[in-house]
Structure 1
């Protein structure tokens, strides 16, 4: 099936030096778009952008989304905004709710306000599966959420409310994409708040036992980054009125336990280094704010955006582990 792609357009990507943002930047540059990145490098890395500095259609603005004037500067002349900038991580938000709220709420409203004033065609933003909170229903359906379990989750749900309100009051078109446990190339394995997959991979490459929080039975809908890149383009290009000003689950639509994840990663990496096959995990306490299971229903995204995952979990893990082996 031929997929529509965004070409010859002007796009601002906030958080473009981050994991997801840099993958979006690379793809859109390769499709002959003019891409501007706004990033303060609090979590993003300059090395993620270095390959793009030689491209005439790339521009970097160093700035913080908490600075409204910088946001206004960044959106000038842009047709589209992909808002990826945020402070992620449930544990980080539990430890420091003030900074998480300032970046994820004030920063979001700054960007939404600046984009509306600049007349951008569409504002597509990174929402989160954490919004489902204590809801125990599986799979997760967009219209049925529970109570948020962390400050981070509250901020991401607040983003959805602001986007809905700004459309109703000011007419700006938005699309929210609730990402489910995204992984892939350029995802940082270092730091206290690194995601589980790159942390596991780094430990395995060092022949060290990674720590699994809990007994390994918790499960997640792990989603390869190429699926997210696809979803963002579909959200930018959606034309049907019922497809816009909505929130969508962006996921694989399947679950994998942390134990299954560990052994899949170990098997993939052992193909490059046999010693990795001898490493076993250790188990630690469950993290505060973690939910036991998460799986997305992706039928709404399929029906209204034409979304269909290009990679399932296992094929995505093969791609990711090969990249990590070659680049870590």
Structure 2
């Protein structure tokens, strides 16, 4: 442990990505002397990694300046991972705006007030999902760098409303704050934004668990309701955490490379539609069996059905409070999109390379997913028996 190393603060450090980021700071970053975590949940070492550096866990809301302010004292770098991740329909706009946008403004203001020189924001590649040719209900992104993706000028440009819109708005604020003078007048705030694709891996509470709960009701089948489906790039969470470490070092030693810029982060996970990816994971375990249907509903029909479903829910919601756990048109847009991002900026300017190859990423993930699957559905069976 470096005696004169960095004091690091992670917002959302108890969460999915945060857990892996803490692991890398503990095991693979000799330039850290203390780790602080701000989260709504107390931090627990769920990944069971070695702990050689002190960790301080602060249970608080990032929107509560009084509760989190002290955590920023004498901090050298902030990883802002905390976010409200929710894709329900109708979107919970107020909470998305409160946490993702206003919470981010709060983090920036605290960095300036407490003279924190570096801020790394966890964004999402979904902020670039815009309509192909401005007409199609899906996106086509093929080997594009950050500057080549379509520049978003309006919230309506983004195909996934709510979450992705507020993440884009927050990202603009973070990158716009780059170069802001710190309160003591002796330096500037340097910022960058990491844009990973959809994450998978240990401690995942979103991607696989959501699909698993759905397919448990369908006998393991994922209906292909939008044609043959698009192609999607997914990234192992451990590699994304490592990219954050590389961003930290780059802002410290070669800040001009990424300061004020977004950075796509991917790895060597094959690009395929989500249902096929889940099927490939299933073949590595006997814990679950997930597979797509051999048939499919044409994408245009599927998209119009999504519009119809949204109209029905929008009519019922004011009267009965009816909601869906997913956004029909957003799901249709993602499922039908072709998404392949170039990580050239990360490689050239952050010296980033995935440290987990495809086999290791899938093996570690499947091992955790299998244990989660057995544990979750065994508990579900036991609770039903108790009733």
**TM-score, normalization by structure 1:** 0.82
State the partner residue of 2:192: 175
State the partner residue of 1:70: 67
Rate the CA distance shift 1:33–1:206 in 2: closer, same or farther, 3 A.
farther
CA contact (8 A) 1:11 1:81 kept: yes
State the partner residue of 2:310: none
CA contact (8 A) 1:250 1:301 kept: yes
Q: Deviations over 1:3-27 (max 9, x none)?
A: xx9x942110000110000111122
Rate the CA distance shift 1:313–1:51 in 2: closer, same or farther, 3 A.
closer
Equivalents in 1 of 2:267, 2:225: separation in Å? Answer: 23
Shift of 1:312: 4.8
State the partner residue of 2:125: 129
Which of 18, 22, 30 lines up with 2:19 in the alignment? 22
State the partner residue of 1:191: none
Q: Deviations over 1:278-318 (max 9, x none)?
A: x5446896632233222211111111111122335554222
CA contact (8 A) 2:12 2:81 kept: yes
Equivalents in 2 of 1:249, 1:103: separation in Å? Answer: 23
Rate the CA distance shift 1:93–1:164 in 2: closer, same or farther, 3 A.
farther
Single out whichever of 138-147 and 19-28 deviates more from structure 2: 138-147
Equivalents in 2 of 1:212, 1:47: separation in Å? Answer: 37
Equivalents in 2 of 1:133, 1:40: separation in Å? Answer: 29
Single out whichever of 206-215 and 72-81 deviates more from structure 2: 206-215
Equivalents in 1 of 2:109, 2:45: separation in Å? Answer: 28
Which of 237, 257, 263 lines up with 1:225 in the alignment? 237
Kindly report the root-mean-square deviation, in angstroms, between the aligned alpha carbons of the 2 structures.
3.1
SS at match of 1:294: strand
State the partner residue of 2:57: 60
Shift of 1:227: 0.9
State the partner residue of 1:250: 265
> How many pairs were matched up?
308
SS at match of 1:288: helix
Q: Deviations over 1:239-263 (max 9, x none)?
A: 2222322110011265221232122
Shift of 1:205: 8.8
Equivalents in 2 of 1:139, 1:269: separation in Å? Answer: 32
SS at match of 2:21: helix
Equivalents in 2 of 1:28, 1:156: separation in Å? Answer: 25
State the partner residue of 2:369: 324
Rate the CA distance shift 1:242–1:262 in 2: closer, same or farther, 3 A.
closer
Equivalents in 2 of 1:65, 1:266: separation in Å? Answer: 38
Equivalents in 1 of 2:120, 2:93: separation in Å? Answer: 24
Greater Cα radius of gyration, structure 1 or 2? 2
State the partner residue of 2:318: none
Alignment of 1:304-319 (within 5 A): 304-313=349-358, 315-319=360-364
Equivalents in 1 of 2:364, 2:95: separation in Å? Answer: 34
Rate the CA distance shift 1:314–1:206 in 2: closer, same or farther, 3 A.
farther
Shift of 1:46: 5.4
Alignment of 1:1-328 (within 5 A): 8-30=5-27, 31=29, 33-41=33-41, 57-89=54-86, 91-92=87-88, 94-135=90-131, 136-143=140-147, 144-145=149-150, 146=152, 147-149=157-159, 150-170=161-181, 171-188=188-205, 194-195=206-207, 197-200=208-211, 208-212=219-223, 214-215=225-226, 217-238=229-250, 239-240=253-254, 241-252=256-267, 255-270=271-286, 273=287, 276=288, 280-281=291-292, 287-289=328-330, 290-291=333-334, 292-313=337-358, 315-327=360-372, 328=375
Equivalents in 1 of 2:329, 2:33: separation in Å? Answer: 42
Q: Deviations over 1:198-235 (max 9, x none)?
A: 43456779994154563462322110011111100110
